[in-house]
Chain A
Amino acid sequence: DSGVTQTPKHLITATGQRVTLRCSPRSGDLSVYWYQQSLDQGLQFLIQYYNGEERAKGNILERFSAQQFPDLHSELNLSSLELGDSALYFCASSNYMTSGRNYEQFFGPGTRLTVL
């Protein structure tokens, strides 16, 4: 158990819909990361937040957005869903160092999203 929790575990929805995935980081971790893992693209970095502010962006679509709240939990919002958005979505947290290094990221169990 990494200490990172994600809800829900599974989500089935239809094309065109909007969903919200939730992540609670490990106690004390200020940095949260979102990753997408699909069969054809592998595990891809989407976005990072540190203490409520966006820090880094990866291959995140404009239809996707995220935020980190004052209690440090984070939500990933996916809208206008397409079949290709079906994937495992992982959240990770780390004890972000002031130097900018994230020596170890702790991953949650993931949310499996199926778009029909």
Chain B
Amino acid sequence: DAKTTQPTSMDCAEGRAANLPCNHSTISGNEYVYWYRQIHSQGPQYIIHGLKNNETNEMASLIITEDRKSSTLILPHATLRDTAVYYCIASSGYALNFGKGTSLLVTP
């Protein structure tokens, strides 16, 4: 699976959009981009995934560049409960190889 690179930490004001970038420049054609988050020491929670096209669900939007070398997770209106570690994962198969993720702090 391709290696992903994310900023270590980010801040966002409550109510604003949180844009979390991820670099996956070596991603191969059959690898999906997944985003999960982990709040404190709870089990990780699935957010969204995509292959080539931009995706949106009730939690977030995923924007994947045309060359698929990077992506951005967008939380449109961040709340304090969105404070968590966000993981971007490129995977073609079964296992999810979590990296260090981005620690997002949403402030009042």
Q: Is A81 an interface residue (CB 8 A)?
A: no
Interface residues of A (CB under 8 A from B): 2, 4, 31, 33, 35, 42-45, 48, 55-56, 58, 88, 90, 92, 100-110, 112
The interface residues of chain A lying within 8 Å CB-to-CB of B93 are 56, 100-102
- Determine how close the nearest CB of chain A comes to the CB of B97; give it in whole angstroms: 6
- Determine how close the nearest CB of chain B comes to the CB of A40; give it in whole angstroms: 11
- Determine how close the nearest CB of chain A comes to the CB of B75; give it in whole angstroms: 18
Mostly, the A contact residues are strand
The interface residues of chain B lying within 8 Å CB-to-CB of A92 are 43-44
With CB as the reference atom, state the residue of chain B lying closest to A102: B94
The interface residues of chain A lying within 8 Å CB-to-CB of B41 are 88, 110, 112
Q: Is B32 an interface residue (CB 8 A)?
A: yes
